[in-house]
Amino acid sequence: MGVGHVALALGASKAAPRMNVGWLVLAAMLSDFLLGIFAMTGLEHATVPPDYATKHYLLFTFPYSHGLLALLLWAVIAAYLISRAYGSDRNRVWIVVALVVLSHFVLDGLVHVAGLPLAAENSPKLGLGLWNHMPLELGIETVMAIAGVALYLKLSGFGAPALGRYGMVIFMALVTMMTWTQLLATAPPKPRQLTVAWIVVPLAFSAIAYALDRKRARQVAL
């Protein structure tokens, strides 16, 4: 699930309108960022299945970044740190951020083959395997992207800065197109490329969203 995480973050902005949506994008993609960190230290990794050329997905060992028990901890930490900047809205922000972090497990649970651990690596693993039907899965993500943008535009209103409104539409369109290129992948990425992407992409996406939403969030906060 790629663009789906960003789409959910945009939709969640309606529940905490004073928040800059960039923080929610970071929360939604926190698991992938942590995967990059843990992969760099050798604690987690991806495995290329024999049928990668036709299936286009990887298998993962990632109990510390994507396990449900670990995500509960990361959700609490992220919610605490981000909510401290929002004064009277602190409790609402805490809840929204924590739920967005945990949503990563739910969305990945829909698409991954059984591999998302409940706790440690040897614990029971979940996954409905929508990746086995990649065009359907990407279609669902595209619908999520459209819904997320629609909710964000409704939150912004017609009086919001044009750069933020149109920029967010363009940003989501580009991310969605990037996601569809997954169908073209026949050669697996190198481990170093994966590690860098897991770290850089969440930071880049959240920074772009933060910049696009900055004026709107500032206006709401006044």
Give pLDDT tens digits for 139-192.
Answer: 999 999 999 999 999 888 776 677 888 899 999 999 999 999 888 888 888 888
The amino acid occupying position 107 is L
Q: What was the pLDDT predicted at 112?
A: 93
Q: Is 150 exposed, middle or buried (0-12, 13-18, 19+ CB in 10 A)?
A: middle
Domain count, the chain: 1
- Residue 22 CA to residue 59 CA, distance in Å, equals 29
Q: What was the pLDDT predicted at 141?
A: 96
Average pLDDT value for residue range 7-27: 94
Cβ 185 vs Cβ 2: under 8 Å: no
Task: Check whether 69 has a pLDDT greater than 70.
Answer: yes
Backbone angles phi, psi at 187, to 5 degrees: -100, 130
Task: Give the pLDDT confidence of 32-50 residue by residue, as tens digits.
Answer: 999 999 999 999 999 998 8
Task: Give the pLDDT confidence of 78-97 residue by residue, as tens digits.
Answer: 999 999 888 778 899 999 99
Task: Check whether 116 has a pLDDT greater than 80.
Answer: yes
Paired strand residues for 117: 125
Task: Give the tokens for residue 83.
Answer: 């909510």
Provide the total of helices (H) and of strands (E) in the chain, helices listed first. 10, 4
Backbone angles phi, psi at 191, to 5 degrees: -55, -40
Average pLDDT, the chain: 92
Task: Check whether 122 has a pLDDT greater than 80.
Answer: yes
Q: What was the pLDDT predicted at 202?
A: 97
Domain encompassing residue 80: 3-221
- Residue 76 CA to residue 69 CA, distance in Å, equals 11
- Residue 100 CA to residue 110 CA, distance in Å, equals 16
CA 185 from chain centre, in angstroms, equals 21
Task: Check whether 73 has a pLDDT greater than 90.
Answer: yes
Task: Check whether 58 has a pLDDT greater than 80.
Answer: yes
Cβ 107 vs Cβ 31: under 8 Å: no
Q: What was the pLDDT predicted at 154?
A: 87
Q: What was the pLDDT predicted at 159?
A: 67
Q: Which residues contact 221 (CB under 8 A, 6 or more apart)?
A: 18
- Residue 100 CA to residue 138 CA, distance in Å, equals 20
Read off the pLDDT band of 61 (50, 70, 90). Answer: very high
- Residue 33 CA to residue 47 CA, distance in Å, equals 18
Task: Give the tokens for residue 97.
Answer: 């951020």
Cβ 3 vs Cβ 141: under 8 Å: yes
- Residue 75 CA to residue 12 CA, distance in Å, equals 15
